[in-house]
Structure 1
Amino acid sequence: MTNYENAKALEGLTLGKSTDYASEYNPNLLQGVPRSLNREQINLSGQSLPFYGEDVWYGYELSWLNSKGKPVVAVAEFRVPATSENIVESKSFKLYLNSFNQSRFATREDVIERLIKDLSEIAKAPVKVTLFDVDNCPALNIKHLEAICIDECDIAVDDYQFDDTLLDDIHITQAPIVEEVLVSHLLKSNCLITNQPDWASVYISYQGKQVNRQALLAYLISFRQHNEFHEQCVERIFCDLQKYGQFDKLSVYARYTRRGGLDINPFRSTENITAPNARTLRQ
């Protein structure tokens, strides 16, 4: 149970409530959630963040009408900076994108301009938007990151409540300094409001003392009954790993499975770089 689940900022969300789908463009459907709700709990505040990062969203069900009423479809990429005041609440995002379905726009550029304006206003930071043809989109290509999968570690698990102290043994005995990328496909958390499951593959790239992979896997599995938004889970993982591991370099990238035509992929790093372009079959 996190201490912000009943925060007033969450009371007006459409998430978890019965709603009608609008088919005419309506930017008022968008809702934001303050990032501060989770960051205060993990001792982050203001702009003095210990990481760079972005939330990379892909929208697979974007459609609108051209000036003659003919439907147009596209795959959309949205990049929201981790420094934005708000995250974009996912259900409101789906409802908003659905409102384009029966709306006419003269050009593709008009759609992009409208998306940038509306999303930047709700996030309170510049949001980047790119539209791709459905048969020519990097997000649709299966491109794996070169990583060592830790899911075959033979560990016993009898508690599925979040526990950061599982990282007490994050380093192996007399750990050498290494640089490697690890991945687990076993990350599961639950939506903060609806309790619906969220599934992800999480990539952890680091430079520093070698990680005890059993301890890391046990920690990631402890999210299994944890309720938190995607972005908040990734920031928690990043902060916990840095707290216990004291790495020279660290990046955490979670590729979540899509729901309602959207997938959310938070990326946090000690390096000022963009999120890699990669996905698995589940995305």
Structure 2
Amino acid sequence: MTDFLQHAPLGQTVLYPSQYDAGLLFPIPRAEARSQIGIADSALPFTGWDLWNAYEMSWLNAKGLPQVGILRARVPLDSANIIESKSFKLYLNSFNQTRFDHPQAVIDLLTKDLSDAAAGTVEIDLIGPERFGLEIFGEFDGINLDLQDVEIDQYQTDPTLLELDRHPKSNEAGHVTEQLFSRLLKSNCPVTGQPDWACVQIIYSGKPIDHAGLLKYIVSFRMHSGFHENCVERIFSDIMNRCAPATLSVFARYTRRGGLDINPWRATPGMPAPQWRRSARQ
């Protein structure tokens, strides 16, 4: 853990905020984690975003009556910072006893504060109870990598597990397009060591990737320490470096912690953005 993260509220005892306070947000620069996997902010090899869902969003209306909603925040990947998750939660808690004349005032303040912290334009959608019934649930489509009968003994990230299929079907020897997923992605918070659980979908076109090696690689994150966004960028980079697909999309839907879930998506430019659907585990 870097000295910088030692000052983050995550893993520390903090006071519950009683009034709105934008100063609770704790930004973490993306550059350091990216430099560790050979990515420069000046030449990002992917497009994408980080989608945050906050299910414990509340505030008071002008008469003091509590209001509730689901906050959906889309953070651009080219923003300078990610936002540390506990600080995000504390910041949202600071709205609980704060009065607003209109929901739009809440949206405007969230947009300003989160964009300032991320150093990039954060898109906000505040979903009221009248739209709760429109929320979409669904699992990833494609080939379930977890159904393979493989022996696993590597639980620290190992990109050498990734390789092209040495025995592809004759009609797959040149170029394929595949949609794959696994529910076995687990990593650990780099500050507290608590587990983070996710389902990851990988869509690619190119020479066939060995499915057994890909599953072993995903499981190799099991004891890895890294923030959600960093893990997805590492997966994208390792697959590109080892298997060189023509196109690649990596989308991870993490289970919530503290009323928040984080869903990073990284893809080669031109790949269509995934439709947002909550999984059963979220």
Q: TM-score, normalised by structure 1?
A: 0.94
How many residue pairs align between the two structures? 277
Could you tell me which residue of structure 1 aligns to residue 187 of structure 2?
189
Give the stretch that moved more between structures: 174-183 or 189-198. 174-183
The answer to whether the aligner puts 1:14 opposite 2:9 as a matched pair is yes
For each residue in 1:18-67, what CA deviation from the matched residue of structure 2 results, as whole angstroms up to 9, or x when unmatched? 11111311100000001011111111112310000100000100000000
| 2:143 equivalent in structure 1 | 148
Aligned equivalent of 1:38: 33
Structure 1 unaligned residues grouped into runs of 5+: none
CA contact (8 A) 2:187 2:195 kept: yes
Distance in structure 2 (CA, Å) of the matches to 1:269 and 1:111: 32
Q: Unpaired runs of 5+ in structure 2?
A: none
Task: Tell me, in whole angstroms, the C-alpha distance in 2 between the residues paired with 1:163 and 1:17.
Answer: 31
* 1:278 shift after superposition: 2.2
Q: 2 CA distance for matches of 1:137 and 1:233?
A: 30
Aligned residue number for residue 170 of structure 1: 164
Per-residue CA deviations over 1:77-120 (Å, capped at 9, x if unaligned) read 10000001000110000000011000001111000000000001
The offset of 1:138, in angstroms, is 8.1
Partner of 1:242: 240
Give the match for residue 268 of structure 2.
Answer: 270
Alignment check: 8 A CA contact 2:159 2:242 kept? no
Partner of 1:120: 115
Cα displacement (A) at 1:139: 8.2
Q: CA deviation at 1:135?
A: 5.3
Change in CA separation of 1:278 and 1:147 when aligned onto 2, cut-off 3 Å: farther
* CA distance in structure 2 between the aligned counterparts of 1:130 and 1:194, rounded to whole angstroms: 30
1:111 corresponding residue in structure 2: 106
Q: Could you tell me how far 1:11 is from its partner in structure 2?
A: 2.6
Q: In 1, are the aligned partners of 2:154 and 2:219 still within 8 Å (CA)?
A: no
Deviation at 1:160, TM superposition (A): 1.2
CA–CA distance in structure 2, aligned partners of residues 107 and 186 of structure 1: 42
> What's the CA shift for 1:127?
0.4
- Aligned mates of 2:146, 2:205 — CA distance in 1: 20
Per the alignment, residue 153 of structure 2 pairs with 158
Distance (Å, rounded) in 2 between the aligned partners of 1:139 and 1:236: 33
- How far apart, in 1, do the equivalents of 2:274 and 2:95 lie? 28
Cα 1:87/1:98, change in 2 over 3 Å: same
Query: Take 2:204 and 2:164, find their aligned partners in 1: how far apart are those partners?
Result: 13
Q: Match of 2:213? A: 215
The verdict on how the C-alpha distance between 1:207 and 1:138 changes in structure 2, with shifts beyond 3 A counting, is: farther
Q: Distance in 2 between matches of 1:226 and 1:170?
A: 24
Q: TM-score, normalised by structure 2?
A: 0.94
Go from structure 1 to structure 2 and tell me whether the alpha carbon gap of 1:140 and 1:196 turns closer, same or farther (over 3 Å shift).
farther
Task: Judge conservation of contact 1:39–1:45 (CA < 8 Å) in 2.
Answer: yes
Measure, in 1, the Cα distance between the counterparts of 2:132 and 2:174. 40
Mean Cα displacement is larger for which, 15-24 or 67-76? Answer: 15-24
1:59 aligned onto 2:58: no
Quote the Cα distance in structure 1 between the aligned partners of 2:134 and 2:267: 21
Letter of the 2:141 counterpart: E
Contact 1:9/1:34 (CA < 8 Å) preserved in 2? no
Amino acid at match of 1:195: G
How far, CA to CA, are the matches of 1:211 and 1:127 in structure 2? 35
For 2:222, give the aligned amino acid. Answer: R
- The alignment partner of 2:4 has SS state of helix
- What is the distance in 2 between the residues matched to 1:154 and 1:247? 25
Q: Is the 8 A contact 1:143 1:277 kept in 2?
A: no
Describe the SS at the equivalent of 1:39. helix
Residue identity matched to 2:217: Y
Instruction: Kindly provide the amino acid, as one letter, of the partner of residue 274 in structure 1.
Output: A
Aligned to 1:23: 18
Pair 1:100-2:100 in alignment? no
CA displacement 1:179-227 (0-9 Å, x = unmatched)? 1210000000000100000000000011111121100000000000000
Letter in 2 for 1:196: Q
